[in-house]
Structure 1
Amino acid sequence: MTELRTLKVALLGCGNVGAQVARILIDDADALAARTGARLELGGIAVRNLDAERDVDLPQELFTTDAETLVKDADLVIELMGGIEPARTLILTAMRHGACVVTGNKALLAQDGPTLYEEADKAGVQLSYEAAVAGAIPILRPIRDSLSGDRITRVLGIVNGTTNFILDQMDSTGAQFADALAEAQRLGYAEADPTADIEGYDAAAKAAILASLSFHTRFALEDVSCEGITAVSAADIAAAKEAGFVIKLLAIAEKLTDEDGKTGVSVRVHPTLLPREHPLAAVRGAFNAVFIEAENAGELMFYGQGAGGTPTASAVLGDLVSAARRIVLGGPGRTETTTGHVPALPIDAAITSYYIGLDVADQPGVLARIAQLFAEHGVSIEIMRQTIHRDADSNVESAELRIVTHRAREAALAATVEAVKRLDVINSVTSVLRVEGV
């Protein structure tokens, strides 16, 4: 029997995901060798603190603080440190020394992906990043490979488990945002500083990666319009529920033609109302899902655990086996599939519907004035519901209006809202959310 060659693996980072990757490499060494055609030897684990407590019991001799030496001596490098530096420098060093790289670093890819792709092409190595988007869900390889003969027109994704958990808690229990966030932190879904999640930055980085693969163009973080969930109130959730909707934080990338006839891609992240019968509306808790619309394949949905050590480690190992097989079989590394440049369009070019909450004076003619203003801006109303409220102290009545528009350009919808705010019968605009899937 022919003896298998050995490929040395360097692991950068040993947090929740990294520890599970190391465990699988050690425990499943024989199975991985059979699938790969080579033995994957964990040569070392670079960490900042050698004495830190780990979730997994690993051989102490594997740990080192000398990450640079480790990557220079590796055939395969797994980067799970996160952040921009030193991750960027270490990845570039690894590729320049001939190592294939697997990373889960969505922030780095969204900010400086083109530099990494170019270096991988120059070095003839593979750069893989399935774990950067939607945890365990195999989504990037299907977009890059399985759908490479098709034209993707639209991608909608729930790609942040923390925000999905918070919104699901608000929907199912009636909790306020702050209480749902506290529960997410208690359960370990949200960090002590949850800014990257609740402000939408994490989802925006993933949206840039999804858009780049789907539309064969390099999109960066600055191309993504981003809005988080901090302004979503329990009243918004309740009103959406009453109207048959659920609110989700969606990452959306779609091909559009703007008003000047220029074709481009709109990439955006924002809270969105979805009809409860939409497949993405059923995604609960911290789970993720990506919904794809393609010209020939039609509608596809990928669903699964979007975070966690073991699920994300599964995505990392999938990339690692693929890269190792490329080394064993030979041939150029596979990185990205950019074939041209499709410009990123501003959010004003997007075509969507608005859900608008208004607190208005309860007097004759108010509804007619609002409807007329919408018509003047070329925006038609699909649903309008009114609820009368009486202030217990002043005994003054006011009306709460909930309006859902037909689809229109974002620019026209936003201009309509600004015009409505200036009406003397409007006490306040209580909420403005986009609607998809209708």
Structure 2
Amino acid sequence: MEINWITGTLPDQVHLSSKTAAEIGITPGTMKFQFGEWSREINVQICNDYSGDIIGLPVQWREQLTIPDELPYKLVNNGTTLKLGPVLALIVFSDLSEMKLSKMNKYREYFSDYFAVQGLTYLCAWNSIDIEKKRIQGYYYDPVESDSAKTWKLGTFPYPNSAYNRTAMPKTVFDDLVYAIGDRVFNSFSNGSFNKWSLWQRLASVTHLRSHLPATKCLTDIKIVDNMLEKYNTIYLKPVSGTLSKGIKKVEKSSSGYLVSSPAARKADRPAQNCFDTIYMVESWLPKLIKKEYIAQQAISVKRYQNRPLDFRVIMQKNEKGKWGCTCIFGKFGKAGNIVTNFSRAGFIRLGVDALRLAFNMSHQEAQSKAEDLEKIAYQICQIFDKYGNYGDLGIDLIIDQELNIWILEVNTQDTYHRFPLHINDQKLYLNIVTSPLRYAEYLAGFS
């Protein structure tokens, strides 16, 4: 569907070709027009001068917001409203000033399936959302622009039909967006609404998932550490809101005292370690962690390969029909001797089945069966998340212990890492992962 700007008419007139009107069941008369969440009462007229899929819009509308006329659109008639779109937002920055060409170009692959989705999709920052005017400043993607420096074009857009959020936006902004467009903002995340402790509480209430959760306590004093070490000998102290293994401490109890380890720095050979003779000496640095909000968690005897820690990232995404599916599973091998699986620090990535065969010496059939077990648990987690909001893109971290039991480590909802396939040179899989969110957004918008 192409846009033609019409002049010399009333600002409420919209023109359609007889072909288009017949295809979507439109007759001349008044109805509502919607572009994103911006709407107007219109008077539809059939224009015999239009021969193809063309919609004529009043030129006055261009003064109110950005409606790119070089993009192809879809037109939907739901009986009372004529919807032009879809209009989709990718909220991927916190500040408009961050939106430089080099950073925006990292999202170009997300538009690889654009001509199937069509419509207007724009990148924006949460601080460019004007909750008073219901406008968002950002950059839209022009797929036919030959000059790569001009692919992204600045504009002021209406609230979208649906939005994919990858930021920790303030709750006031998030709530206003949801109030305006309904439950069509995914992932359902706003600043302070989700962390490791609330995740554990959320999943621990589910009987069939409880056995897959390491024992976890909110870190409030040294008694928590002491009691958990009595039970498990080794625990992890993790920031409630931490990411990328930052701030994690491993505490081990032995006959000679207590050993506290931190993840190895990028250039360091081994984790940083401190030894304490008594639990009271451990207590000396605990207030800093308590102030930052930490959890204490049972350490699982994770399977290692060549002394490398291993966990699994299960990427779960909703498709163009709104159904959960496992896009892929990756095995993340950490640096040898390290306490975390941050593979960017001298680690490596393998596909899930390959990682299982490598680390556990499984046959292909055994590895495939265990990968299916990982996927089943991930799917159950997704079902729980659906009860708390709209999620469409989750990165679920699981580990397998020496006895092949599966444990839940973390569920990533914000800024889910999509680039795993690039570490194994699988461009096709990467494109499948990064285009899935737009297909789900199109479904939410009502245009799929």
TM-score (norm 1): 0.31
With a CA cutoff of 8 Å and minimum separation of 6, indicate the structure with the bigger relative contact order: 1
- Point out the structure with the larger strand share: 2
TM-score (norm 2): 0.30
Larger Rg: 2
- Point out the structure with the larger helix share: 1
